[in-house]
Amino acid sequence: MYFGEKVRLRAIEMSDLPHIMKHWNTYETRKFLLSAVPYSENAERKWLEEVTTASPWKDGIVVFAVEDKRTGQFLGTVTLDRINPQNRRAELGIALHDPANLGKGYGTDTVRVMLWFGYHVLGLHTIFLITMTCNARAIRAYEKAGFKRAGLLRHAMFSQGKFQDVFIMDTVFDEFAAVHPGDRQIGSPT
């Protein structure tokens, strides 16, 4: 398990299915993601079957459940996907599910811990993400966690009734490790 100031990241389990189904289809959360089409419980179960047995190097993906460190509440998931062993690069994705938990610092903390894991456990060299330019809360959280804007793709996603521009944002190992070295985690277990 990996610890931040507020969150704990742990392996996602099949038993997380009910936690996921509770808020995952909330439009307020999903409108900033690749698709806001609702997921059925069956589809989510099949996704869980895949990711609970995936290997970062063989399958190119690792998914963690995000929990509130103090209460143990399930908050959402964070992912490193498209893990590329030659370039030692991956794409970060995050979704906190319940709108009531947004804007409370969980996301910034989670992203920092996932970067720490990606750089200091997996040995990655760069980690990037894409986010709609209208997702001001996400951009602010990513910048606080160390991401920089690397480029812009015009009209790359259709969401909320229109084509949206997206930022490509990235971090590199040296910059992250200068602030968060590998010999201590972001936060303590308690």
Ligand X SMILES: CC(C)(COP(=O)(O)OP(=O)(O)OC[C@H]1O[C@@H](n2cnc3c(N)ncnc32)[C@H](O)[C@@H]1OP(=O)(O)O)[C@@H](O)C(=O)NCCC(=O)NCCS
| In the complex, minimum distance from the CB of residue 66 to ligand X, in angstroms, rounded to a whole number | 9
Return the exposure string of 159-182: e unless at least 16 CB atoms fall within 10 Å of the residue's CB, then b.
Answer: beeeebebbbbbbbbeebeeebee
Nearer to ligand X, 123 or 155 (CB): 155
69 Rama class: left (phi>0) / alpha (psi -120 to 50) / beta: alpha
Q: In a 3-state reduction of DSSP, which class is residue 140?
A: helix
104 near ligand X, judged by CB under 6 A: yes
Site for ligand X in 33-52 (CB under 6 A): 33
Q: State the pairing for strand pair 74-84/2-3.
A: unpaired
Out of 23, 24, 79, 108, the only residue in the binding site for ligand X (CB under 6 A) is: 108
Nearest residue to 78 (alpha-carbon basis) of 7, 158, 176: 7
Total number of residues binding ligand X (CB under 6 A)? 20
Nearer to ligand X, 9 or 123 (CB): 9
| In the complex, minimum distance from the CB of residue 32 to ligand X, in angstroms, rounded to a whole number | 3
Indicate the residue whose CB is closest to ligand X.
107
135 near ligand X, judged by CB under 6 A: yes
Out of 12, 94, 157, 186, the only residue in the binding site for ligand X (CB under 6 A) is: 94
Nearest residue to 92 (alpha-carbon basis) of 21, 37, 35, 147: 147
* 114: number of Cβ within 10 Å: 27
Query: Cα–Cα distance between 31 and 52 in angstroms, integer?
Result: 25
- List CB contacts of 49: < 8 A, sequence separation 6 or more: 14
95 near ligand X, judged by CB under 6 A: yes
Out of 20, 62, 63, 138, the only residue in the binding site for ligand X (CB under 6 A) is: 138
Residue window 139-158: x/- pattern of binding to ligand X, with contact defined by CB under 6 A: -xx-----------------
Out of 3, 29, 113, 164, the only residue in the binding site for ligand X (CB under 6 A) is: 29
| In the complex, minimum distance from the CB of residue 68 to ligand X, in angstroms, rounded to a whole number | 11
Residues that bind ligand X (CB under 6 A): 29, 32-33, 94-96, 102-108, 131, 135-138, 140-141
